[in-house]
Amino acid sequence: SFILDSGNSFSINRSTNTPKASGTFGGAAISNGYSPVTNTQIEAKWDYNGTMLGISTGSPYLTDLTYKSGILTNAGAKVTSSETAIVASRGLSDGFKVFGGIRLNQYKGTINKPYLGGVGNPTFSVAGGYQFHLDTGTSTGFAIGAAYEVPQIMLRASIQYNSEIKHSSAKITETFGGATTASSPDDIIAPSSMIIKLRSALSPRMLAFANWRSSQYKKFKIEGPVHTAAGQGEIYNPESGTDYALGIALKVNDQLNVLVGTTKSQSTDTGGLANALAPFKGSSSNFIGASFKLNETVELNGGYSLVSFGDDNAGVPLSTGVGGAASFTNNKGSRLSIGTKISF
């Protein structure tokens, strides 16, 4: 939505997510395997003869998980991503704006399952088990939307559609039993989404906002031929879900603004076991934030949120080819962000 704001600007924001998830299985503890991950988001926009042009880049999906105990020792996943959007917006009559552009998207992922090495891998070394590597390459989709604004009361209502992105040049490498197998799937599809945002002034100094997003993850299914042949099924098969955020922003003075709010994310419940690489059912958070104007050009901003992950039972191996259910409960995390915005 940065492309809907007026004025030329450049901003950079750095956020660190620190998830923690641990559970129990058969009376034994499964310790947290998550490491913090950091995303740097950069946005720039400028006015060109009444049309706002912009570019943004960041990493929408990041995961760094390695379990350290029991049969899950050294099992885990590492996911990185990049997405760059080149967008434009144009005001029409009576407060209406339209906006849209192209999105360039890439994923890279590594998944390790040492326990699949069975009795031949008693130390659960990564090299002695199953290894999966994915590089989707960069593919292109689009975003399109419209907004209605009433500046006098700071009202803005917007709707945006992000298309799915089909990665037709993805490369997979699997290593198992000392043999490495390469394949090229043509059906890895990054999810589409619909986003609705609403904000309005409650008073001259107070603003309320609400955001809703529906993401179609169901097509983002990942399989490996070797993994399937070993009787392990799909590597990743997520469900579609929705997210929302509600909050209030307060203008303390001409320099300082503060905000508080809450979020919730929820995926479709299939009734089955969760994946041990994502052992929770949805999440919720409460957040605070602030922005401070140093002068007419430079603004500093920051935020902090506490995250709660929904309890769930995750599938874990009892032995190769046999599974059980581990209980993951009362898992939490945090998110810290700092940034700056320069107007020109």
Provide the residue type at 104 as one letter.
L
Strand, coil or helix: 174: strand
- List pLDDT tens digits, range 215-273: 998 888 899 999 999 888 888 888 889 999 999 999 999 999 999 999 999 876 677 78
Q: Phi and psi at residue 2, in whole multiples of 5°?
A: -60, -30
Q: Residue 105: CB partners within 8 Å, gap ≥ 6?
A: 81, 82, 83, 136, 138, 139, 140, 141, 165, 167, 190
pLDDT band with cut points at 50, 70 and 90 for residue 323 = low
- List pLDDT tens digits, range 296-305: 999 999 999 9
The answer to whether residues 39 and 14 touch, using CB atoms and an 8 Å cutoff, is: yes
pLDDT over 60 (residue 322): no
Residue 318: per-residue pLDDT = 64
C-alpha distance from residue 129 to each of 115, 171, 299, 317, 319 (Å):
6, 20, 50, 13, 13
Pairwise CA distance, residues 227 & 231, whole Å: 7
Pairwise CA distance, residues 213 & 193, whole Å: 7
Q: Residue 245: CB partners within 8 Å, gap ≥ 6?
A: 209, 210, 211, 261, 262, 263
How many helices (DSSP H) and strands (DSSP E) are in the chain? 1, 25
Q: Provide the mean pLDDT of the chain.
A: 93
State pTM to two decimals. 0.91
Strands of 67-183 (E only): list them.
76-91, 96-113, 130-135, 139-150, 155-162, 165-167, 171-176, 179-183
